[in-house]
């Protein structure tokens, strides 16, 4: 009996760690979505495409300009964020006064167009991108498993960035402006705050978060035009479970669901892609506003 339990533990523990790594991606992506939804009330369906662009820009920087992973980690979110500014200024900003549905349709259409362009340009079977030399070496021995250094870095980076985003929005003056603008934009503007610019920059920041996750993903997932659409549905489920617009909620749920998914992969792998949606259904029935959402 005891041995049996020990065996299960030996099998389970590495999966917990791997689940956290995947959770890091869910957390980062849902963080960006939550920021955009919480502050702009836009359901950004182009998030997956922007995640993909982050990875592709890293590839372009490396292959066209010889710029490696570390600079790309900063440059790629900046470049894709600038693209976000362009999208917000020219298209998305026109929809703030309309129903959510219009923003959803517009960004979904944009996602399809962006993916189509990349598929035409780069094909669909993917591009190679190696981890940086400093993180490439042999996997680290954790006692119960070998974990590639790169995965440890992913978890650390995601944690730091999530924490930083939460601090900025909840604890700084800028964050306070932002939250106030969500409640009553006209009033905040009356105090002399340039609300439209702030909104544009918030959208760009959300997009940059997606691109950052894209660069993080490039060395371990296939860099192809569809890479975002495979993840985005799960990420939406994470955001819904966490509570639309709740920053802390999406981060905690991201890591938590990564964990649940990881364990499902051992005990019943066939269900690993559905387990998150089952949880989503249960949460929606019990708490329609999500685990951390305000009803």
Partner 1 sequence: MTQDRRSLLKTAAAAALLPGLGAGLAAMPRPARAQPTTLKIGVLNDQSGVYREVSGPTSTACVRQAIQDSGIAAKGVTVEVVQADHQNKADVGSTIVRQWIDRDGVDVIVDVPNSAVALAVNGIVREKNKVYLNSTGGTTELTGRQCSPNTVHWTYDTYMLARSTGGAMVKTGADSWFFITADYAFGHDLERNTTGFIQAAGGKVLGSVRHPLQSTDFSSYLLQAQQSRAKVIGLANAGTDTINSVKQAAEFGVTRRGTKIAVLLMFINDVHSLGLKAAQGLVCTESFYWDLNDRTRAFTERVRGSLAGNYPAMSHAGCYASVLHYLKAVADMGAPAAKASGTDVVARMKAMPTDDDAFGKGRIREDGRKLHPAYLFEVKTPEESRGPWDYYKLLQTTEAEEAFRPLAEGSCPLVRS
3-state SS record for the chain: CHHHHHHHHHHHHHHHHHHHHHHHHHHHHHHHHHHHHHHHCCCCCCHHHHHHHHHHHHHHHHHHHCCCHHHHHHHHHHHHHHHHHHHHHHCHHHHCCCCHHHHHHHHHHHHHHHHHHHHHHHCCCCECCCCCHHHHCCCEECCCCEECHHHHHHHHHHHHHHHHHHHHHHHCHHHHHHHHHHHCHHHHHHCCCCHHHHHHHHHHHHHHHHHHHHHHHCCCCCECCCHHHHHHHHHHHHHHHHCCCCHHHHHHHHHHHHHHHHHHHHHCHHHCCCHHHHHHHHHHHHCCCCCCCCC
Encoded tokens for 37: 């939804």
By CB under 8 A, residue 30 contacts partner 1: no
Which x/- pattern over 195-234 shows residues binding partner 1 (rule: CB under 8 A)? ------------------------xxxx-x-xx--xx---
Minimum distance, C-beta of residue 121 to partner 1, in the bound complex (Å): 12
Tell me the window of 27-35, 148-156, 181-189, 207-215 that interacts with partner 1 (CB under 8 A).
Answer: 148-156
By CB under 8 A, residue 294 contacts partner 1: no
Nearer to partner 1, 98 or 117 (CB): 117
Minimum distance, C-beta of residue 195 to partner 1, in the bound complex (Å): 37
Nearer to partner 1, 169 or 210 (CB): 210
Minimum distance, C-beta of residue 11 to partner 1, in the bound complex (Å): 7
3-state secondary structure of 169: helix
Nearer to partner 1, 105 or 145 (CB): 145
Among 9, 11, 164, 176, binds partner 1 (CB under 8 A): 11
Which x/- pattern over 38-77 shows residues binding partner 1 (rule: CB under 8 A)? ----------------------------------------
By CB under 8 A, residue 125 contacts partner 1: yes
Among 152, 266, 277, 287, binds partner 1 (CB under 8 A): 266
Binding site for partner 1 (CB under 8 A): 11, 14-15, 18-19, 21-22, 116, 119-120, 123-128, 130-131, 138-139, 145-146, 148, 150-151, 219-222, 224, 226-227, 230-231, 262, 265-266, 269-270, 272-274
């Amino acid at each position: 009996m005891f041995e049996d339990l020990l065996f299960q533990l030996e099998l389970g523990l590495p999966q917990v760690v791997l689940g956290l790594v995947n959770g890091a991606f869910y957390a980062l992506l849902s963080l960006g979505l939550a920021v955009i939804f919480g502050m702009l009330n836009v359901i950004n369906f182009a998030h997956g495409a922007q995640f993909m662009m982050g990875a592709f820009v890293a590839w372009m920087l490396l292959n066209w300009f010889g710029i490696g992973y570390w600079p790309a980690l900063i440059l790629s979110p900046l470049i894709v964020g600038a693209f976000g500014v362009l999208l917000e200024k020219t298209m998305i900003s026109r929809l703030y006064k309309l129903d959510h549905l219009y923003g959803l349709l517009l960004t979904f259409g944009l996602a399809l167009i962006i993916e189509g362009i990349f598929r035409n340009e780069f094909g669909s079977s993917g591009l190679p991108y190696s981890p940086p030399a400093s993180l490439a070496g042999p996997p680290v021995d954790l006692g119960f498993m070998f974990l590639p250094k790169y995965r440890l870095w992913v978890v650390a980076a995601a944690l730091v960035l999530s924490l930083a985003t939460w601090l900025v929005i909840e604890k700084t003056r800028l964050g306070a402006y932002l939250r106030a603008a969500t409640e009553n934009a006209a009033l905040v503007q009356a105090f002399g705050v340039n609300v439209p610019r702030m909104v544009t920059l918030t959208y760009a920041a959300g997009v940059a978060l997606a691109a950052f996750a894209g660069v993080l993903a490039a060395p371990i997932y296939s860099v192809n035009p569809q890479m975002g659409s495979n993840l985005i549905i799960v990420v939406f489920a994470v955001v819904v479970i966490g509570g639309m617009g709740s920053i802390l909620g999406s981060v905690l749920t991201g890591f938590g669901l990564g964990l649940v998914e990881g364990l499902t992969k051992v005990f019943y792998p066939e269900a690993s892609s559905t387990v998150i949606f089952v949880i989503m259904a249960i949460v929606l029935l019990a708490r329609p506003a999500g685990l951390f959402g305000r009803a």
